[in-house]
Amino acid sequence: SYIFGLAGTRPLTTKVQEVADAVRTHRALEDCDVIRGFAETTHRAKSWSCERRVVARIEATRLGLDIRFVVTNLTGTSPRVIYESLYCARGQAENWIKFHKAQLASDRTSCRRAVANQVRLVLHTAAYWLMLSVREAIPATRDLARAEFATLRLRLLKIAVRVQETTSRIRLAFASCCPEADLVR
């Protein structure tokens, strides 16, 4: 089974034009900001050996019409499910992978030995879960509760603090200009 995005072409847009006009008209009549509709057709590009199922996501906004196409060989599933539940979920998974690589530098697996690279990925994943736990511990009313890991690292972890350890407690002395001192407290 496969599912992938396809660049829109004039022949593809023509095949779903009737549904696109209906979505555009519905948005205008209802005076909504956004109306989303779905269409399904078959298409055969010059380089393809056969016709394939194409799902179109048609979105009408006040700015105009936006049509996205997805090609799949999945059958028995509605165009809405194909696009929203399968295609967009796959894209979100790719975004999480990109986030993991960019925010935690987990793409640095340049060792010659596979075991060393696997250990690095395990450590990066542990760092991911630790940062996720830190973000979840922040009250929802704070802007850092939705921050990316790089922002959390800069504003919470990479700060200068004087640590005073006694037998009964540990004191953290923040600089007077530390903007997140109350949150860490």
Nearest to 58 by CA among 73, 79, 87: 79
Residue 145, CA distances (Å) to 100, 103, 132 in order: 18, 16, 10
For 73-126, write each residue's pLDDT tens digit: 888 888 898 888 888 887 777 777 777 777 777 666 677 788 887 888 888 888
- What 3-state class would DSSP assign to 94? helix
3 touches 74 (CB < 8 A): yes
pTM over 0.85: no
For 150-169, write each residue's pLDDT tens digit: 888 888 878 888 889 999 99
142 touches 131 (CB < 8 A): no
Q: What proportion of the chain, given as a percentage, has pLDDT over 90?
A: 15
